[in-house]
Structure 1
Amino acid sequence: MGKYIIAGASSGIGKELAKNLLGRGCEVIAMNRSVPDFTHPNLYHVAHDFSGEASLPQIDGEFAGLVYCPGSINLRPINTLKSEQVIDDFKLNAVGAFSFAKAYRSNLAAGAGIVFFSSVAAKTGMPFHASIAMSKGAVEGLTVALAAEFAPTIRVNCIAPSLTDTPLASPLLNTESKQAANADRHPLKRIGTPEDLASMAVFLLTEANWMTGQIVSVNGGLGTILK
């Protein structure tokens, strides 16, 4: 039970997380540009575009957790990567997470949790991942800094996934050959699912009462073992 604010709950991991929490009897505020394409008596939509410059809306009430899901996959070699693209990725991934936590920290109940999302690329060097590695590396730094600042009242953790089958990743998975090649890169020989990541987020929000400041890898073994 409890109330949660999920940024980016209209698709992918955020959508699956919202459904999981709603199924447990929780209330969810879905904060994103578009109205979610599913309904539930305990689901509420608050419109906000995290890629823009508008201030976050005021929300009243006490919450058990915050989750920031918006992200980007901007894979380019450095000779074609523009500074403006890097800045845009940093704003969405890192500044967005910072602003979200800052805006709603005062709404959190004692014992609440905050969950951010990083990437396997923040710690594992991969070609063409400079922009995402920089912005998600900043998210990991934000995680440990806020965990120290908010302890012992609020827990702050971060999930670092590998490639996951979401609309955001569809250009990387839109053919059978791409799916097979990307699955084969992982020791567990499959692509991640939104359910894989949502279940970890639920654990961090509801059960991980003695965890804070942790970067949890959910990546099919990529970047950890060779196989």
Structure 2
Amino acid sequence: MKKNLLLIGGSYGIGAEIARLTSSKYNVYIASRSSENIPDNCDHLTFDVTKDDISSLELPETIDGLVYCPGSINLRPFKMLSPAAFQEDLEINFMSLVKVVHGLLPKLKTAEQASLVFFSTVAVQVGMPFHTSVAAAKGAIEGFAKALAAEYAPSFRVNVIAPSLTDTPLASKLLSSEEKKEKMAERHPLNRVGTTQDIAKTAVFLLSDDSSWITGQVIGVDGGMSTLNIN
């Protein structure tokens, strides 16, 4: 019997790639604002994570896997970031995640061992200028995930992927020319930016039984940026 996988945001970027890689192995439900790029064998549910209640969706009684994809890349000097900007980043990255997980607890707890996958950023571990807001919001995710993993083990597993810059629509402004791509690639020991497949394949592994002894981890998929200094 196929397991049930719920992707919050899965119509583009990393979420869409996860859907593509899992659609033949899982019953995949995608809750997102847009139905574009949804594989034919996935079920789409219209959902705005900042406005809608996850418990209002028609979902199966058991959720075996949950991936929360919504996020932001709000890179500006701290002096140009208002408290409202911080609040907005916290809302999309963290508070909406909390609401989703809270609303799905009954369905996650009926699984044999559910797997939850969230996304952070390399900028939480490596201090980077202009990242104060997004690093704060993603840092909250990392702390939340570890505490949640401890509280609900062994009922379900919770892990976080912390990418560096990845070529997605969300990062399009940072990678809008070949010159920018080359400059960003040179910052990474592996001399390239990430692809959606790099991140999605890690998520698929964490969802699978192959990672059944992994929980409470923040896994850097970042071209070596968080641990290597080659300059």
Q: TM-score, normalised by structure 2?
A: 0.94
Q: Are 2:128 and 1:126 aligned?
A: yes
Q: Does 104-113 or 125-134 show the bigger shift?
A: 104-113
1:130-163 Cα shifts (integer Å, max 9, x gaps): 0011000000011001101111110000000000
Structure 1 partner of 2:86:
86
2:201 aligned partner, one-letter code: S
State yes or no: 1:54 paired with 2:52: yes
Deviation at 1:225, TM superposition (A): 0.3
1:199-218 matches, cutoff 5 A: 199-206=201-208, 207-218=210-221
How far does residue 203 in structure 1 lie from its aligned partner after superposition? 0.6
Distance 1:199 1:223 in 2: 19
3-state SS of paired residue (1:160):
strand
Query: Residues of 2 paired with 1:38 and 1:44: CA distance?
Result: 8
Q: For residues 224 and 173 of structure 1, what CA distance do their matches in structure 2 show?
A: 23
Give the match for residue 100 of structure 1: 100
Find the partner of 1:224 among 194, 213, 227: 227
Which residue does 2:13 correspond to in 1? Answer: 12
Contact 1:119/1:136 (CA < 8 Å) preserved in 2?
yes
Whole-Å separation in 2 of the counterparts to 1:115 and 1:135: 16
**8 Å Cα contact 1:162-1:219 kept in structure 2:** yes
Contact residue 123 and residue 131 of structure 2 kept, 8 A: yes
Assess if the C-alpha contact under 8 Å between 1:7 and 1:30 holds in 2: yes
2-structure distance, mates of 1:102, 1:149: 13
Corresponding letter in the other structure for 1:221: G
- Partner residue in 2 for 1:65: 65
TM value normalised by structure 1 = 0.96
**3-state SS in 1 of match to 2:212:** coil
Matches within 5 A, 1:15-54: 15-23=16-24, 25-41=25-41, 43-50=42-49, 52-54=50-52
**Which secondary structure does the structure 2 equivalent of 1:127 belong to?**
coil
Q: Is this contact kept in 2: 1:9–1:36, CA < 8 A?
A: no
* 2-structure distance, mates of 1:105, 1:46: 19
User: Contact 1:36–1:45 (CA<8 Å) still a contact in 2?
Assistant: no
Judged with a 3 Å threshold, the aligned counterparts in structure 2 of structure 1 residues 164 and 36 are, in CA distance, closer, same or farther, namely same
For residues 145-160 of structure 1, what are the structure 2 equivalents within 5 Å? 145-160=147-162
Is 1:173 aligned with 2:175?
yes
The one-letter code matched in structure 2 to 1:54 is D
Q: CA-atom RMSD, angstroms?
A: 1.1
**Identity value in percent:** 44
> How far is the alpha carbon of 1:2 from its aligned partner?
1.4
